[in-house]
Structure 1
């Protein structure tokens, strides 16, 4: 059963120090943040300098808040020495945990940070208890669950692991499984596994159905077919606690301090109520305020199970807020518009930010601050925007019919700033006791369980005129002022009428604060030691309850398994006695091996061979081969790179009214869907055995041009991946590469001929060298 924290914790994002302080002020139990200079899945955030970490952790620990460092990208061989130095520095600075994606980085962390807890990032794709057992074997103490799991699947996961479980409950959703998205790498040489996601899922795509472009749904043009709504699960916290979740995570390291303050404040109140089994204190206004901070529309994501009609609306990819209505008239010279309002339209006030939605979110749509709002009819508002010098909004760009949104709430902005600026204090219980002839004793215990004790330097005297009472004790002894503490409770136990000079009470107060502060400031060093054979490929991810796939594969008695997730590796490496003689397990690219340490770790777990991650270019693959025998590696020499790997089903969403595989009617069995991007490339969408969608690159890539180099590195195993090729095309592709391996045909010839076969040609793809050689 999953380990449960004594009290479930709220984990907040911080992309900069201002946001970190806002998270602390709003009530976060822990904050996660990344470093500048690499190994961070949010490379575009401001992030933190490594030399600032001791000061940052000192601040957090004085407030009773934990700090987790994100080390959640893949690591290349050339970076391993710097990675080791960085991990050591993180441990020395006083970090409370490190979030890791790369298995090699995990091994390094165990070696150099012996006592530091290691959390498996959602980027590690630990999607089942079987995968969790491997993570635990490698030193992981907590799993950050994939966003694609339902509450019931989380419950099954918790029943099959001893590790702590962490779950996202608010913020942006990736359409692809984390750690399995290669879209940015394939299309822009910017790997999401390296913190450089290009947000390709937020781009427009057109539906191409059975070879013809169609409107996405009926007569409605939906352009943003892979852009999910945002997750908001504040109402599901009691169920998640019951399922076994110990940590509730808010996404948003790219957001500012006002977003952090508002969202953390709401979830702090909701989580406290869930822990205490009270009804949620959040109101309809609270939910509205969450939308103003950032919202593409809210959903429960996959926590209630798959609902492909709800997850993606397809209308816009970015923030909107709360719907007001539609423009009826525009009076640009008079600086106002008339708006027909929706029944649920929010209240509008001067200073609110108004957005005019013209159905072209990729353009700079008109928006501006509201100057005045006047009701001129039962469902009609006049919105005024002041003079040209008072607003950046050009009303000449606004058109009748534009959809009107309240994107920002002026009152909420001020409220969030107040929350962020509050000084968070550690609660203190003070017990004061004494009797005449003995010292006055003050014993303090804070909310973190730490305690201190001080005595008066002189004994208490019998009072003649001014005896000690609660008022003077609060005024002189309990005036905690600018310290880190706030008095929660005072217990006064005095025997008889006694007296003590006020200056001695003040001295005791200073001594008490000093003693407690020194306890809080101790930085504990947290270091942790860190013929033809038939091979069946597993799905890329496996949820709790899907172990039946493995049993089905076993019954087929293959010669080997291509393990595409850690759970499959765990299952089949322990089944040698029940499988065919010579049975082997091979690891696929989705295990994300980008360096020799990770590769050796995976091979050491029982893999016969391993396909390196597709994030590597040829120079980086050469680095990996320097640390791993080439004959243990398998390189995909021809493929359409898998871009997105999604729990969300485009077929069910756009070609049916069904919510999941039980009600969709399986349109994937009778139709072929492509997504046409802004460049005109049509990317095929394939559905796997688990009803998950993979969007494959329209353009094939080939390593034929670097085949001699790969041979020189010792690589002897090569793979051809086929997507929708027919029999003739398959024969042509396989024949070409067989001739390449036999040495009867050069790589240039293959690329030329296959380029003519492929609709969009063939490229070097991810193997094109984009790294710079070190000086």
Structure 2
């Protein structure tokens, strides 16, 4: 049984931070004024964050700062160092990062700071964990989608801390792989500004007909996660830190959830798994705090489909409070299912709320007057979305209070000697964390009434507004002495201040020198945009996710390379025939790897990699860290028997190279001449100006294609009850009648949701030529042959013949090429 299990709390405000401390959190993750994945929470000012660091360390807690967004070159060169420096110097315990460039930066300039790889890095197995450890991460935050077995596999194979989500909201998409909010409304989840379009209603269209139930439209909105009932299994699997989601939630939510996980972690540590049982009352309390259509254990138990989705509403459902007995034209007579308090709120539908005014006992009756449009029937349940008594209880217990640390003290008051107070702060194991001794004026004999020992103890024990209280206070004194009350207060105050300073100073570090100028200089060199470097000889590649278009693509001699989607082919023989057709026409061939590389995908490649490599393709299009490490491991193992092995990799756009440091970090993963990264793909979310400053001379630029907005382990087909384990395309239709195609990949078990319109920037010929990418890419997914020909011929006209192109597509988007993201 593990002994050091961390309860990790969110804090979206300073009040929530204090609530987490009081409720028993071991560590708190929070965001500052920049670079956090929750840009719209009440993030911490510099003054608040510095104060929070001291308060956390006083209470022997840790603080992790979220720097878990993708950063642009100018942000790296001008802001990141000065942003992190004061927190680093004041003892920040760790940063949570998504961007590989930020990871590189922190290693270089803040070497004593722990780095936690965010769930935004989509770490789905031991391969990614191993790679991140090698690159300097001390902890990984696993993808929420992993099951117990996959967590165990990481724990068994990689010596790295594992942090896993145990409670709160779930994303429909693999974190870090979502572009839905970005492409629909310009608010990027990778920049902390997700607008949560997944919480909106959608029709599901199959064969031109709407499928699913009329009242179940929130098909992309997962229920909230609560793994309290399976906590022993999660811990035994290897999770070291139990992460609670909720930086956008209230202080009451933070305190209530943290206190519950603190309670049950302690129970587990004391009694083990055999006596572990969560009470119905405690589960109901958690539901009162927040739930979407009930709870799910998440993916730890391999749960997907309808039972995991909150199909009827996307927000807090509350708990069962009233049962309808009768409805007389909107006068609703109800039986009370739980004790009610004044201030409790009931919700009917998604747009009517009723506030209760009085206390009502369970099984009593209550009458509500509601609009006639709500056709409530006998037996219908009305939910309470605010439990006022619970909120008041939490507020009293955890918010309107202050956690106290226990001190041991010794006071000496002897005539002719200075008054002396020694105090020490002990940790849970009895080890001294900090101590101090202060002295005041010489003690004199009492002229009138001497001080008695009880009065001295009582006065000295008034620790008041401090974060301390005396557990043991020993007083040694002469009988006939006098000391002013003010001097006792001064002794206590000075001793506590000295001890606190010693404690906080023990966490502090110093930067060897100010690197700001060096950083700016280095990035200025890396920027290096120079129109004279522009190479008009741009090659055209086609990424082919629809094998039915292969013959069409092959008919164009100006296409240099073809990317083949491996899962499109039934077996190696069919794939080999496709490669042969490409090679006959002297095309370069690259295999597209899966978006997600979990154990199922790994097994497929373990079984088939030898045959795949024997096809002599020119390389692989890589979509995640797992795949990079898979080929690195393969090289290490096969090199003993085959010295001629060479594997070439192309980094796809979702292996993010938002800044030049990220690109440099990936290049370090090459293995001499055995494993080579040929080029990266320019980020979809950067605009033309930003791409210029990134310098994409050695990159590929996507100029056409339906871009995947979400990669999900969920299956919409399964959610609406039509899963047949066959590849198919269905559609989501939003409130504006826009349709989004969904392809289910049953080979590797994930869904891909595509943007409603393809990106098209081929007609921006001069702009693209001035960027001078090494290559441009056309992505073909479910286009017909005429559209495929039209797009390819536009690209040839633009990049081979250098002629102006007039776009004839009726439906397209410029993506972020013009606007970018904030």
* TM-score above 0.5: yes
Q: CA deviation at 1:253?
A: 0.8
Partner Cα distance (1:69, 1:285) in 2: 34
Superposed, which structure 2 residues align to 1:266-665 within 5 Å? 266-277=260-271, 279-280=275-276, 282-296=278-292, 297-325=294-322, 327=324, 329=326, 337-339=332-334, 345-357=337-349, 361=350, 365-372=351-358, 381-384=365-368, 395=371, 398-401=374-377, 404-418=382-396, 419-428=398-407, 444-447=424-427, 449-452=432-435, 454=437, 475=458, 480-488=463-471, 490=472, 512-522=495-505, 523-525=507-509, 531-543=586-598, 546-551=601-606, 552-557=608-613, 558-573=617-632, 575-576=634-635, 577=639, 583-606=647-670, 607-625=677-695, 630=697, 632-656=698-722
Partner Cα distance (2:395, 2:358) in 1: 23
Q: State the partner residue of 1:660.
A: none
1:235 to 224, 229, 233: 229
Q: State the partner residue of 2:558.
A: none
1:199 to 190, 196, 199: 196
* Distance 1:233-1:502 versus aligned 2 partners, 3 A rule: farther
Q: State the partner residue of 1:662.
A: none
Using the size of structure 1 for normalisation, the TM-score is 0.83
Partner Cα distance (2:303, 2:701) in 1: 34
Partner Cα distance (1:574, 1:61) in 2: 41
Give secondary structure in 2 for the equivalent of 1:168: strand
Shifted more, 706-715 versus 366-375: the winner is: 366-375
Correspondence 1:762 to 2:812: yes
* Distance 1:641-1:502 versus aligned 2 partners, 3 A rule: farther
Q: CA deviation at 1:745?
A: 5.7
Q: State the partner residue of 1:391.
A: none
Correspondence 1:725 to 2:783: yes
Superposed, which structure 2 residues align to 1:158-197 within 5 Å? 158-197=155-194
Partner Cα distance (1:763, 1:43) in 2: 26
Shifted more, 235-244 versus 437-446: the winner is: 437-446
Give secondary structure in 1 for the equivalent of 2:780: coil
CA deviation vs aligned residue, 1:275-298 (integer Å, no higher than 9, x gap): 223545753222212112211021
Aligned length: 716
Superposed, which structure 2 residues align to 1:685-724 within 5 Å? 685-688=742-745, 689-724=747-782
Shifted more, 70-79 versus 553-562: the winner is: 553-562
Instruction: Give the conservation status (yes or no) of the 8 Å contact 2:765–2:804.
Output: no
Q: CA deviation at 1:506?
A: 7.7
Give secondary structure in 2 for the equivalent of 1:303: helix
Partner Cα distance (1:486, 1:550) in 2: 61
1:65 to 61, 69, 73: 61
User: Where does the alignment leave 5 or more consecutive residues of structure 1 unmatched?
Assistant: 386-393, 657-665
Partner Cα distance (1:638, 1:176) in 2: 23
Partner Cα distance (2:173, 2:720) in 1: 18
Q: CA deviation at 1:570?
A: 1.9
CA deviation vs aligned residue, 1:528-562 (integer Å, no higher than 9, x gap): 99922221122222235753244334530132111
Q: CA deviation at 1:83?
A: 2.1
Instruction: Give the conservation status (yes or no) of the 8 Å contact 1:373–1:382.
Output: no
Instruction: Give the conservation status (yes or no) of the 8 Å contact 1:328–1:400.
Output: no
Shifted more, 311-320 versus 425-434: the winner is: 425-434
CA deviation vs aligned residue, 1:439-464 (integer Å, no higher than 9, x gap): 999663422641426599999x9xxx
Q: State the partner residue of 1:106.
A: 103
* Distance 1:429-1:157 versus aligned 2 partners, 3 A rule: farther
Q: CA deviation at 1:351?
A: 2.0
Instruction: Give the conservation status (yes or no) of the 8 Å contact 2:594–2:601.
Output: no
Shifted more, 315-324 versus 238-247: the winner is: 238-247
* Distance 1:678-1:540 versus aligned 2 partners, 3 A rule: same
Give secondary structure in 2 for the equivalent of 1:524: coil
Using the size of structure 2 for normalisation, the TM-score is 0.79
1:673 to 724, 727, 730: 730
Superposed, which structure 2 residues align to 1:72-151 within 5 Å? 72-80=68-76, 81-151=78-148
Instruction: Give the conservation status (yes or no) of the 8 Å contact 1:292–1:408.
Output: yes
Q: CA deviation at 1:238?
A: 2.1
Give secondary structure in 1 for the equivalent of 2:781: coil
Partner Cα distance (1:10, 1:313) in 2: 27
* Distance 1:647-1:506 versus aligned 2 partners, 3 A rule: same
Instruction: Give the conservation status (yes or no) of the 8 Å contact 1:442–1:454.
Output: yes
* Superposition RMSD in Å: 3.6
Q: CA deviation at 1:432?
A: 9.5
* Distance 1:763-1:510 versus aligned 2 partners, 3 A rule: closer
* Distance 1:383-1:286 versus aligned 2 partners, 3 A rule: farther
Instruction: Give the conservation status (yes or no) of the 8 Å contact 2:797–2:805.
Output: no
Partner Cα distance (2:436, 2:87) in 1: 33
Partner Cα distance (1:194, 1:639) in 2: 23
Give secondary structure in 2 for the equivalent of 1:119: strand
CA deviation vs aligned residue, 1:449-507 (integer Å, no higher than 9, x gap): 41426599999x9xxxx9999x789646655444322345x49799xx99796959988
Partner Cα distance (2:248, 2:421) in 1: 49
Partner Cα distance (1:679, 1:455) in 2: 71
Give secondary structure in 1 for the equivalent of 2:132: helix
Q: CA deviation at 1:581?
A: 5.8
Partner Cα distance (1:169, 1:417) in 2: 23
Q: CA deviation at 1:381?
A: 3.3
